[in-house]
Amino acid sequence: MLDRLWFLIPEFILLAGAMVCAIGGISTFAPIRKRVGFIASIFLVIALFSVPYVYGQTDYTHPETMLPGLGKYIKMMAAFVGLLLVATSGGLIDRGYERAIGAGKDRFDPLRANSGEFHALLLLSLTGVMLICEARDLIWLFLALELVSLPTYVMVAISRWSKTAQEAAMKYFFLGALSAALMLYGFALLYVSTGTLVLQEITEAFSAQQNNGGLLVIAQVGMLLAIFGLLYKIAAAPMHLYAPDVYQGAASAVTAFLAFVPKTAGMIAIILLLSTVGWEDGLPPAIEMALWVVAVLTMILGNIGALLQRSVKRMLGYSSIAHSGYMLIGVIAGPELGLPAVLVYLFIYGITNTAAFATLASLSRGGKRVDSLEDIAGLYTTSPLAAASMSVASGSLLGIPPLFGFWGKLLLFAAGIAAGQISLIIVAAVSSAISAWYYLRLIGLSLLSNPHNHGERTKVTLRWPLAVAVVGACISIAGPLVLEGVMVDAKEAITLPESELAMSLPSLEVDDERE
Amino acid sequence: MTFSSHHADIDFFSSLPPRRTHHRLGGFFVTPNSQRVSFDTIPTAMDFTNYLPVLLIILMAVGFGVINIVASGLLGPKRSGDVKDSVYESGMNPIGTARKRFNVRFFILAMTFLVFDIEIIFLYPWAVDFTQLAQGSPEATLFFGRILFFLGTSIFAYIYAWKKGVFRWD
Amino acid sequence: MISIMQSIIATPAGQIDQLVDIVAPTWAQFILWMPLISLVLCGLCAALKVKTKAPAIITVISLATSFVLTLMLYFGYEGAEVIHIFEWIHVHWNGGSFISDFALYIDKLTLLWMLFVTGLGTLIAVYASEYMEHDVGKGYARFFAGVSVFLFAMSCLVMGDNLLMLYLGWEGVGFASYWLIGYFYQRPAAVAAAKKAFIVNRIGDLGLALAIYLIWSTFGTIQYDGISTALAAHNNDAATFSAFGGWTVHAIPYLLMLAAFGKSAQLPLYVWLPDAMEGPTPVSALIHAATMVTAGVYLIARTYPLFQLDDYALPIVAWVGGLTALFAATIGMAQYDIKRIMAYSTVSQLGYMFLGLGVLSSYGAAYHVFTHAFFKAVLFLTCGAIMHGFAGQLDLRKLSGLRKMRGWKIVSYTMLVGCLCLAGFPFTSGYFSKDAILAEAFVTQGSGFEILGWLAIFTAGLTAYYTFRVWFRVCCGPEYYEPGDELHGDDPSSFHPHPPRVAINFVLIAIASGAIIAALPYFMDNETKGINGGWVAEMVHDSPARGGVPNAVVAVVDGEHATAHEGVANAVVDQDHATHGSILGMDPHKAMYYISGVVGMIGLGFAFFFHLARRKAADSLRNKLLASRFTRWLPIAMENKWYVDEFYIAVIRTPLWILGKLFALIDRGIIDGLLVNGIAGTPRAIAKWFSPLHNGAVQSYAVSMIGGAALVILLMMFMPEIMSFLQSTMIGATP
């Protein structure tokens, strides 16, 4: 039991951080109150550095989770991208309120201060992501998933003082509850079909069923329902409908969070669930076919939906849908090449997407947050840095060759080809080509076109998000240098303990001496 | 992708999973090694006799409501008047628009109440179980640690709510 | 395909290359990095809007460091070696590979080039620090950043260990040249010139790219080492290269030639160089006279063995060079803009260099590159000083008697030094280097080389004439000047020329001394026994271009030592190579001393008569020529540069423009309208079709989500039934 607790140390650190942030945010002592984000990032840094230490200890045996190596990769990734996300939300919450208090125009009222809660919830949500990796049974999995989701509902609502944010939060919450119900129904059916909630025992039961003439229909339905519930988290069709509205309604920093954290959570949960079935003999046809349909729909609907948008955030929301579709290719392809590719892609996508949204978060035009394509036009005239990072991020999301995003896509597509999913790759390639339209438009608008004459110029008003954007852009450019390391880590993360799969990609020659 | 139809001829409930001797309901709430935990003997999920307690609770809930209404109808005094005949709405005026806003403090208070409510609900079975563990055994320590953690979160929530000012009614 | 991809991914951390030599002077890479560092710092200066001369100081220091490092490399030289910096491109696949390291190849040819590139680069940067001072705080940092880019690219070009690095440098110098020609981007002429230079160079670059590809596909490598190994294995014989794919070995030299002609402004691609004088004068001196334009010569010298694989490659180089020399000289005779005269003279002198390469005098070509770098730099810099001092005045009819003006003595006499060298006045450096080429034209017997030789001698006379036409007009005679139009608001009547100050004068003297001293190498002893031609021959001998060094031993054929000349001559000359060519029955090497000296003096005499003694005679001669119906075409055509630009516009640009318009119409109408917008429009139409789904209502979202999920799940669960149903209905009841 203590072994299990040992591997939860990063989660405990974040939990402590969340408590400190929540209390600190309503402190009457302004310096603490204003630096909640900083406190949160300190805890994230500690958690980040604790992960290699925790997983480096040999005194503790890892609990019997489905993918024991997954935790190290995901926790580090969550903490690292979490840092970027905290910085992205820097200067967002309570800024005007604190300024009013500082100017003596307003009196401090804990009920109206949100920064502490915001950061506490952010940390809690990240804790949820980390906990998913340690899930040994369906209840843990469900609770962890809810720990990811519940804070995000609040974060959407308190990120902006606007009705659209409230509406987005409401939609997100109701539809999230619906999808959670779907998922729970699936879990119940899984329990019915196997008589257990422990993932490893479900695996055994499934293999017994496979030997006995195939998976029970009820098990397949349960699995599909659970996956469809999880599709909501990753914003994949047909559970994607909320995404554009919610992404547009929330503040950019929160949107960046929504596009990465629940997606990671959902992706890992799907991988964990599917690993009970296993890829050795191929997924059961019904599940594979369903995932195929979902991936195709997601890629096409995501990319096509983005074409018509005038709002950058909405456009990026659709693009986020499309990226889920790409990642599903890796899920279908299986643990040998596909799942490591998914993990690598999550990392790459997390950084580039955060960079894109962080650029938006840093900008404002005439005192309003930037949203429409018009606001982006001619960005280079006022802020070449923002324009450059926006372009690099878009290019990376599109997958322009030297950039990080290209390699992620390449890995996914290669995994798909290796798994024989040619039709899927063709759809992915075509929809990628379609996506060039709006990504390139983003680049063209920010770098090449002239600013709109009417109204004020778009300016950088928040520096922290811009810093995140620049860092993200730099990683997008320099990332390929560390790509191999990330791939090795991702491969180590996906080691199915029971299936005796090869621990590393066979065709990929990795220098053992370097490790 | 070819479709093998090997599962098409299987009836929905025809082949049940093999019965297991040891089933556990999740690992987080139940210590695997603890002999105290009585969930150990849950039969398969398909055995509907195991859902009897649920049925019992449903019956109790429905019965509680029915008995109350019936009893108050039988036992209560019967006087009538404009006010007496109107619907009881916890002190609110029952006539008027239904889309009326409640003060948010009602909700905050309700949620704060829930914190302690849940705490008590958990504490009671815990206390019952804890006395049956061998004193000083690792299981007992762990069991104690867990409830401390749980209480800690509740206390934290309480402090937070207090600091946030939810108990002020002004 | 996946294995290729994985190899791409896996290579960055691949094995350490075997080529790394532990004793190699790895510090030599800083010759390359110093300009890059300077570029970054200059960029910083531009970003920080530095209002001082800091960019110039940074550039001068870093270039001087490069020069010192080059000197150290030269004095520590112990034989050709490869200095590995980092792995650049390593792609392997089944049975093949493409390797291009970021590595330096140091032999003496490299060192020869690097010595004058970095040395002159430093001096000209010093000159520019004063010359460009009116732009301090505005374009100053931009200018020096451009110079740094150029030096970095040129170093890559010269020092690279493979053709891809050469290509990188090749494109880099092209870019730097574009950057600096268009430095005065407010002036339409400068922008047009920059574009012209870039576009014309593009034609040559295409040749280089294709050549690199063919070289790689023929020899399997683009590293100089690998190529020479492959060549040696086949005894430098074209016939044995049939195994390598036959025609490619014959195509490679012509493609390389195209590249060289583009970069070094030879017929028919020379048109960009005269226009490139729109750039600041230090740029003209450094890039368009001394260094970059000699890249073509370097390319051919570096790949000399490849040119020996085709019978006609080197003669064509010789002919193009010789004709360019003559052609450009005739244009130069009739120009009035002194900078433009110098530009045409550069084209002409580059023609000499190619002639030298073509007639198997690679050492003569290299020597001429070396001397020309000095004397042409000094000529340009004096022109620049004059332009600077007389408010942009460059018309030689409006300047006179500079020699006697206060503060212009150094300019006048350093210009005289440059002119003497350029004119090939006896015992100047230009005299020796030009003689080496001219003599070899008669020594090597090939397709009409003798005619070429006489043409070149005639051109030498023309060169002396137009060179001294400038000097006699501008520096001698009565004192007279008209200011140019760049008065910066001064009143023309109160204009006073402002002579150059310390930095410019120092640089002029330094480079002029260099031009004089450049004659010395001719007399220096060779360490290598048996070869003629002094120090430069020694430098060239230790390189692939040794085929053009007299009496050099290159290969062992049939157990006998064959001299390079003979080895190459086998490929070039079909006559009996045992007989030495002769000129008027004399040994060309000796006779040329007298012939070229006399021809130069004749040209000088004409210049003296027409432009100093009786200046009116020049105009009356021109008028006489114009008056006669049969001769009037000559001055008009020469003054209008033989209408080559107009010819290109009519024959190439206009048809291309019409074609372009046609394509644009097709593009807009059919491709954009029908295909692109059609293809792009389809998803948009589909998107419109789907957009009602996004009506913002939570209920409908929920219904769609659950409905979609239910649909997919039901579909999946009943897929076998559906499939069998479809089969039975479509195919019928057949089993």
What's the CA gap between A493 and A345, in Å, rounded?
A: 14
**Residue C24, phi then psi, degrees to nearest 5:** -60, 140
Q: How far is CA C145 from CA C155, C167, C198, in A?
A: 15, 21, 19
Contact residues for A74 (Cβ-Cβ < 8 A; gap 6+): A129, A130, A132, A133, A264, A268, A343, A493
DSSP-derived letter for residue C577 is: T
Least CB–CB distance from C687: residue in A245, A305, A508: A305
Q: What is the CA radius of gyration of chain B?
A: 26
**Residue B46 C-alpha, separation from nearest chain C C-alpha, in angstroms:** 21
Domain of residue B49 covers 20-74
Locate the chain A residue with the closest alpha carbon to C716: A286
φ and ψ at C18, to 5 degrees? -75, -20
The SS3 call for residue A453 is: coil
Cβ neighbours of B15 in A, within 8 Å: 209, 212-213, 216
Same domain, B109 and B165: yes
CA distance C370 to chain A (A): 41
Q: Which of C161, C316, C196 is nearest to C254 (CA)?
A: C316
Burial (Cβ within 10 Å: 0-12, 13-18, ≥19) of residue C363: buried
Chain B residues 6-65 with CB within 8 Å of chain C: 7-8
- Of all residues in chain C, the one with the smallest CA distance to A171 is C698
Instruction: Give the whole-angstrom CA distance, residue C390 versus residue C499.
Output: 9
Chain A nearest CA to B79, separation (Å): 44
User: In terms of domains, do B157 and B115 share one?
Assistant: yes
Alpha helices in A278-311 (DSSP H): 285-307
How far apart CA C83 and CA C102 sit, in angstroms, is 9
Residue C20 half-sphere exposure, CB side, CA atoms within 13 Å?
A: 9
- On whether the CB atoms of residues B26 and A197 are closer than 8 A, the answer is yes
B129: in domain: yes
Note the pLDDT of residue C17: 40
CA angle C480, C485, C487 (to 5 degrees): 90
- Residue A51's pLDDT is 92
Residue B167 in domain: yes
What is the three-class DSSP state of A481? helix
Show the tokens assigned to B50. 């195991």
d(CA A328, CA A325): 5
- Provide the 10 A C-beta neighbour count for residue C184: 18
- d(C-alpha C255, C-alpha C236), whole Å: 19
CA dist B60 and B53 (Å) reads 10
Minimal Cα–Cα distance from B20 to chain C, Å? 28
| B89 assigned to some structural domain | no
Report the alpha-carbon distance of residue A297 to residue A326 in Å, rounded: 11
Phi, psi of A496 (to 5 degrees): -75, 120
- Whether ipTM > 0.90 holds is no
Is B158 within a domain?
Answer: yes
Residues of chain B with C-beta less than 8 angstroms from the C-beta of C724: 5
Residues of A in contact with C10 (CB under 8 A): 484, 508-510
CA distances, B12 to each of A206, A211, A215, A217, A352 (Å): 16, 17, 11, 6, 46
Q: Residue C724's closest chain B neighbor by CA?
A: B5
Is the CB of A319 inside 8 Å of chain C's CB atoms? no
pLDDT at B110: 84
- Spell out the residues 6+ positions from residue A314 whose beta carbon is closer than 8 angstroms to its own: A244, A247, A248, A306
Q: Residue B113: in which H helix or E strand, if any? A: helix B104-130
Query: Is there a contact between C723 and B3 if contact means CB atoms under 8 Å apart?
Result: yes
Give the whole-angstrom CA distance, residue C569 versus residue C563: 10
Tokens standing for C563?
A: 């001299």
Q: In this structure, are residues C135 and C143 in contact, taking their beta carbons and an 8 Å threshold?
A: yes
Contacts of B7 in chain C (CB under 8 A): 720
Environment class of A172 (CB within 10 Å of its CB; exposed 0-12, middle 13-18, buried 19+): buried
Looking at residue C239, the DSSP 8-state letter turns out to be G
C421, C428 Cβ separation under 8 angstroms: yes
> What is the predicted pLDDT for the residue at C556?
36
Contact present, A418 and A333 (Cβ < 8 Å): yes
The CA distance from A392 to A408, in Å, is 15
Burial C64-96 (b: 16+ CB within 10 A, else e): bbbbebbeebbeebeebbbbbbebeebebeeee
Residues of A in contact with C711 (CB under 8 A): 238
Residue C487: predicted pLDDT: 60
Q: Is C730 exposed, middle or buried (0-12, 13-18, 19+ CB in 10 A)?
A: exposed
Unique residue bearing structure tokens 């009196």: A107
Is residue B82, in this structure, part of any structural domain at all? no
- Å from B95 to nearest chain A CA? 28
Enumerate the residues of chain B whose CB falls inside 8 A of the CB of residue A284.
7
In this prediction, the residues of chain A whose per-residue pLDDT falls under 70 are 1, 63, 496-515
Best to test chain C binding among B1, B3, B4 (most C CBs inside 10 Å): B3
Alpha carbon distance A489, A437 (integer Å): 34
Q: Identify the bridge partners of residue A369 per DSSP, sorted by sequence position.
A: A364
Weakly modelled stretches of chain C, pLDDT under 70: 1-24, 94, 234-246, 445, 486-494, 525-533, 547-586, 642, 671-673, 675-677, 679-680, 690-694, 730-735
pLDDT given for residue C44 in this prediction: 87
B131 contacts chain C (CB < 8 A): no
Chain A and chain B share a number of CB contacts under 8 A equal to 85
Q: Which residues pair with B55 in a beta bridge?
A: none
CB contact under 8 A, C9 and A305: no
- How far does the CA of residue A421 sit from the closest CA of chain B (Å)? 8
- β-bridge pairing C96-106 and A458-460: unpaired
Which residues 114-143 on chain B approach chain A with CB closer than 8 angstroms? 142
Q: Are A51 and A134 in contact (CB under 8 A)?
A: no
Same domain? For B156 and B117 the reply is yes
* Best mutation target, A308, A437, A512, to test chain C (most C CBs within 10 A): A308
- For A112, half-sphere exposure in the C-beta direction (CA atoms, 13 angstrom radius) is 12
CB neighbourhood size of C97 (10 A): 11
CB-nearest partner of C687 from A242, A308, A417: A308
Report phi then psi at A109, rounded to 5. -135, 115
CB-count burial class (<10 Å; 0-12, 13-18, 19+) for C628 = exposed
Instruction: Confirm if B129 and B143 have CB atoms less than 8 A apart.
Output: yes
Q: What pLDDT does residue A322 have? A: 93
Is residue B9 in a domain?
no
For chain C, the structural domain boundaries read 318-619, 654-694, 698-735
Overall pTM > 0.90: no
For residue B7, the chain A residues in CB contact (below 8 A) are 213-215, 217, 220, 284, 286
A508/C10 Cβ within 8 A: yes
Nearest to B1 among A19, A111, A289 (CB): A289
Residues B106 and B66 in one domain: no
Side-chain-facing half-sphere of C611: CA atoms under 13 Å:
28
How many Cα atoms within 13 Å fall on the side-chain side of residue C694?
25
From the list C369, C288, C358, the residue with the least C-alpha distance to C113 is C369
Contact by Cβ (8 Å): C42, C62: no
Total count of domains within chain B: 2
User: B61 with B113, same domain?
Assistant: no
> Within a domain: residue B128?
yes
Q: Residue C529: its pLDDT value, please?
A: 55
d(C-alpha A87, C-alpha A463), whole Å: 10
Q: How far is C220 from chain A (nearest CA, A)?
A: 25
Distance from the C93 Cα atom to the nearest Cα atom in chain A, whole angstroms: 13
Annotate C462-489 with b (16+ C-beta within 10 A) or e (fewer): bbbbbbbbbbbbbbbbeeebebbeeeee
Q: B1 CB near a chain C CB, below 8 Å? A: no
Chain A residues 358-417 with a CB less than 8 Å from chain C = 407, 410, 414, 417
Residue B86 domain-assigned? no
Cis check: omega of the bond before A238, within 30 degrees of 0: yes
Q: Which residues contact B45 (CB under 8 A, 6 or more apart)?
A: A191, A192, A195
d(CA C274, CA C282): 15
Task: Measure the CA–CA gap between B47 and C535, rounded to whole angstroms.
Answer: 102
Other beta carbons less than 10 A from residue C734's beta carbon? 6
A24 touches A119 (CB < 8 A): no
Cα separation, C475 vs C468, in Å, equals 10
